[in-house]
Structure 1
Amino acid sequence: MMDSFEFNKIAGGVLGTLTLTMMLGIAAHMIFAPGVPAKPGYDLPSAAAEQTSATPSAPAEPLPVLLAKADPVKGQAFAKACGACHNFEKGQGAKVGPPLWGVVGRQVASVAGFNYSDALKAKGGAWTMDDVNKFITNPKAYVAGTKMGFAGEGSPEKRAAIIAYLDKLSDNPEPLPKP
């Protein structure tokens, strides 16, 4: 059987180890204090930051010319990233963003039950191919105050392919503009 002196030595050793561990944790927290961000969350890279280049860019082709060369199949592949927030199938409800079935030609902010930003509600009109192009180039610049967190697509060719794909997602696709 263990006498009380042995028990006190074991208990003292355990308590001393726990106290030392706690003190080391406090000291480490004081030395390596984590920084608290001013605004919680993660800032998405802006489209302007991605377009920095030492070589001057060629003059942009007009949207009708780009659409004439656009491949909707490639557009579907490019739009896969949009599927994280949007549905593409007819009759599917909203996710984080409204469904994109029939978006080309649809009235802006018109999906029933979806909570659009006040800025998008105020825009009015219908989504033309040109409007969709401007919006996905830089959503926050085109509709200041939009809730859409996407930074934008910098490649005109990718945007044209996405628009050609979105146009196909309709019972009555809009005719592509003549180049």
Structure 2
Amino acid sequence: MFDTMFITKVAGGLFGAWLILLLGKWGAEEIYHAEMHGEQSYVIEVAGAEEEAPAEEVDVLALVAAGDPGKGEGVFRKCSACHKVDGTDGVGPHLNGVVGRQIASVGGFGYSGALSGIEGDWTPENLWGFLNNPKGWAPGTSMGFAGLNKASDKADVIAYLQTTQ
């Protein structure tokens, strides 16, 4: 059933189909390359696309001062899968006393290089930036959390963390 001629026919069919595909790709590239056609004949303009709204300035200290530690404890449950506030480390370092503590300073915890290279303390502003977008604030961090979207949630969590000294 599978003699030499059958295998040759199958191989010829596969290679022929591949050749047709490559020739079709080459022909399409020759026809549709934009740089071969000169300048654009028209441009579709989108209203408002030129201007970006300026980023809103946030008074972090005022928001944190108005934050509710009780609500922050509830929001912190999202964090409690990895972080604890009882002085023991989990997947992440313990966060009791984090406000005002030096960044990446919990002894015995293996921080990612992203946080180890950052100088300074965990001020409310730094915590706000980190909680907003951990990977944007410390590129290369091993923290997999995407961040908190609501400003009130961030303020409440920071207010709660201030009570865990």
The TM-score with structure 1 as length reference comes to 0.59
1:63 lines up with 2:60 in the alignment? yes
Quick one: which amino acid aligns to residue 102 of structure 1?
Answer: G
Q: Write the mapping of 1:108-123 to structure 2, written as runs, cut at 5 A.
A: 108-123=103-118
Q: Percent identity?
A: 44
1:125 shift after superposition:
1.1
Distance 2:56 2:104 in 1: 33
- In 1, the alpha carbon distance for the partners of 2:58 and 2:125 equals 13
Provide the C-alpha distance between the structure 1 equivalents of 2:58 and 2:113, rounded to a whole number of angstroms.
33
Could you tell me which amino acid in structure 2 is paired with residue 136 of structure 1? L
Deviations 1:103-147 (A, max 9, x none): 001111111111101110000211101000100100000000101
Describe the superposition over 1:48-71 as per-residue Cα deviations: whole angstroms up to 9, x where unpaired.
xxxxxxxx9x95642122123211
Is the CA contact (8 Å cut-off) linking 2:61 and 2:125 kept in structure 1? no
List gaps (5 residues or longer) in structure 2.
Answer: 1-52
Report the 3-state secondary structure (helix = DSSP H, G, I; strand = E; otherwise coil) of the residue aligned with 2:106: coil
Check whether the contact 2:64–2:124 (CA below 8 A) recurs between aligned residues. no
1:148 paired residue among 137, 143, 146 = 143
TM-score, structure 2 as length reference = 0.64
2:156 is matched with 161
Using the alignment, how far apart are the partners of 1:154 and 1:146 within structure 2?
19
Mapped contact 2:103–2:121 kept (Cα < 8 A): yes
Aligned to 2:133: 138
1:67-146 paired onto structure 2 within 5 Å = 67-89=64-86, 92-146=87-141
> Which secondary structure does the structure 1 equivalent of 2:149 belong to?
coil
Task: Give the distance between the partners of 1:78 and 1:96, measured in 2 at CA.
Answer: 18
CA distance in 2, matches of 1:128, 1:61: 15
Q: How many residues align?
A: 112
Taking only aligned residues, the RMSD between alpha carbons, in angstroms, comes to: 1.7
